[in-house]
Structure 1
Amino acid sequence: MGRISVVAGAFLWGTLALFVKKLSSFGFSEMEIVAIRVTGACLCLIPFVFSVYGIGGLRWRMRHIWYFIGTGLFSIVFFNWAYFTAMNIMSISLAVMLLYTGPAFVAILSALFLKEKMTWRKALAILMTVTGSAVIAISGNGTTGQLSALGLIIGLGSGFGYALYSIFSKLASKHYDSMTITFYTFLISALCLLPFFPFWKKAAALPLEAWLFMAGLGLFPTVIAYLLYTYGLMQVETSTASILATIEPIAALMIAVLLFHEQLYGGQLAGTVLILSSIFVISYEKKQRDRLAA
């Protein structure tokens, strides 16, 4: 059941493109869509958190607010903006693969700031990720044969922002559990974005379909996906979960090809294989380390 939960949660993350593309068609900007996602997630989490922890159950100290600013603004807000922007200026398939450079960024940042050892497997995974990204860039985007430098930078920025969550949440986990970190991550993100991106004003003139997609964005690829993945982590090893979670980019690629009729070219496929393989290399190292520690 744990493995099924991890796969289901990761698959729901992979459906994110459906909601982003649809909301973009209704006229929402990337930052407005980010605001919709974090606000929807926060509203969905409130009743769940209160039912589990009770009123006042999620206590935090003011001096630790920088943890949640890091997970919220520096990671969730930034990587979502970069990811959504990359989807709209390039393609879903390229955007999702550049997002999955995240594990390589995690390895680098962990060595720099968490003093984790840079092993040969991590170095190999980083090299594979860099090579895969370069191959994607060289192979081009669509029939033009060119991938803009801006698109590449923003796409890689999504991977960097994605990685920052692991760093800040690792620091925060010394003091708080995962639910506390997640709740305040979305709460601070929503409170900071809403004054500048009042998406509800634009939404007021839109049909019910737009509101359903707004609600779906906060619920399915966000809250439900997180809860399923977290439940699965309680029953399977982290390394196993990280491998199973590669269903996310596969699901996103399937959606891009089947629903949005995107084409993947030889170079893009080669780069995709290299980036996904780098995740398996890092996950294999974690699995070996877990066995030695057992």
Structure 2
Amino acid sequence: MVLLGAVLWGVSGTAAQVLFQRDGLNPAWLVSVRMTTSGLLLLIALSARFGFAHTFAIWKNKRDAFGIVLLGIIGLLGVQYSYFASIRYGNAATGTLLQYLGPIFITIYVALRRRRMPSVKQLTAVLIALLGVLFLVTNGNWHSLSIAPLAVVWGLISAITLAFYTLYPAALLRTYGASTVMGWGMLIGGIGMSLMAPPWTFSGHSGPGTWFLVGFVTLFGTLLAFYIYIASLKYISASEASLLACGEPLSATILTVAILHVPMSWSSILGAICILTTVTILARSKSEQSE
């Protein structure tokens, strides 16, 4: 289940690259449609199953209401837009791999908060990740970038916001559950993005293929992928899930190379291996600590 969810996310990134670079869609518009639609559908499903009182309970507490707005705008909207912006200026493989540096920022934040140096294993993971980014963005030529600087900047922002939305909503998730928190978070983020890119102001090439990909990104790459991933946590631990979620950058990379014919040099492949190794080290380290 977690692998299927991760693959759907990876395919969604590749579909977004086609929409941006072939059909000329605005990433902000796709984010507003994707988040608003998914959030609404998720909340409607929750209301149908548990009732409106359950769905709207989060708004009765001022602190939690502020928290869900912060999560929706900074966390979910931040990570969605920055990820798509990185794909627009680069490609799905690079954008997804840069986003997977999120665990590095989580490790750094936790170390600073606890005022304790990371373990040797965690420090090793950080160094491997930095080496991987260096390989990925320079393509082996240390004097210049092989991809657009904006793709790198937005990719790093997506990693930071990924770390934020992973760490911040822990209390909200314990109180209200993942579906409620993510449903409201996505809807709020979508509404926030709609202020800058309303869903009714479409621009770019319009055709059956375009709308099929928009529907896929919205329904399969967001709503279904989220449901499958969350459901998998009933059977495996979060650390195991984060390990298996490496299927996302792998699927995005394979599709980017095979379908979109974006070349991957030995340096890019080595960078990808370094970043995926980092995720594996940190996930296994977390699993050992929990045991």
Alignment partner, residue 91 of structure 1: 91
- Rounded to whole Å, the distance in 2 between the matches of 1:114 and 1:214 is 43
Cα deviation, residue 209, structure 1 = 4.1
- Rounded to whole Å, the distance in 1 between the matches of 2:139 and 2:81 is 25
State the number of aligned residues.
Answer: 285
> Which residue, 28, 31, 35 being the options, matches 1:34?
31
- Rounded to whole Å, the distance in 2 between the matches of 1:49 and 1:42 is 11
- Rounded to whole Å, the distance in 2 between the matches of 1:147 and 1:284 is 31
Matches within 5 A, 1:47-58: 47-58=44-55
Unaligned runs of 5+ in 2: none
Alignment partner, residue 101 of structure 2: 101
User: Could you tell me which amino acid in structure 2 is paired with residue 245 of structure 1?
Assistant: A
User: Could you tell me which amino acid in structure 2 is paired with residue 46 of structure 1?
Assistant: L
2:73–2:189 Cα contact (<8 Å) kept: yes
Alignment partner, residue 251 of structure 1: 251
2:12–2:216 Cα contact (<8 Å) kept: no
Per-residue CA distance 1:223-268 (angstroms, 9 max, x = gap): 1001111111111122211111111111101110111011111111
Deviates more, 1:282-291 or 1:18-27: 18-27
State the SS of the aligned residue for 2:63. helix
Give the direction of change, closer, same or farther, for the CA distance of 1:256–1:88 in structure 2 (3 Å limit): same
Give the direction of change, closer, same or farther, for the CA distance of 1:201–1:151 in structure 2 (3 Å limit): closer
TM-score (norm 2): 0.89
Cα deviation, residue 13, structure 1 = 0.8
Deviates more, 1:69-78 or 1:221-230: 69-78
Per-residue CA distance 1:131-160 (angstroms, 9 max, x = gap): 21122222269xx97334333222211111
TM-score (norm 1): 0.88
Give the direction of change, closer, same or farther, for the CA distance of 1:51–1:119 in structure 2 (3 Å limit): farther
RMSD of the alignment, in Å? 2.4
Give the direction of change, closer, same or farther, for the CA distance of 1:47–1:140 in structure 2 (3 Å limit): farther
- Rounded to whole Å, the distance in 2 between the matches of 1:121 and 1:275 is 14
Alignment partner, residue 19 of structure 2: 23
State the SS of the aligned residue for 1:15. helix
Matches within 5 A, 1:1-294: 5-24=1-20, 25-58=22-55, 59-60=57-58, 61-113=61-113, 118-139=118-139, 146-202=146-202, 206-291=206-291
User: Could you tell me which amino acid in structure 2 is paired with residue 40 of structure 1?
Assistant: T
- Rounded to whole Å, the distance in 2 between the matches of 1:92 and 1:238 is 25
Give the direction of change, closer, same or farther, for the CA distance of 1:29–1:116 in structure 2 (3 Å limit): farther
- Rounded to whole Å, the distance in 1 between the matches of 2:216 and 2:24 is 17
After superposing on structure 2, the runs of 4+ consecutive aligned residues of structure 1 that deviate more than 6 Å are 114-117
Cα deviation, residue 203, structure 1 = 6.8
- Rounded to whole Å, the distance in 1 between the matches of 2:116 and 2:192 is 32
- Rounded to whole Å, the distance in 2 between the matches of 1:33 and 1:104 is 28
State the SS of the aligned residue for 2:42. helix
1:39–1:218 Cα contact (<8 Å) kept: no
- Rounded to whole Å, the distance in 1 between the matches of 2:122 and 2:214 is 38
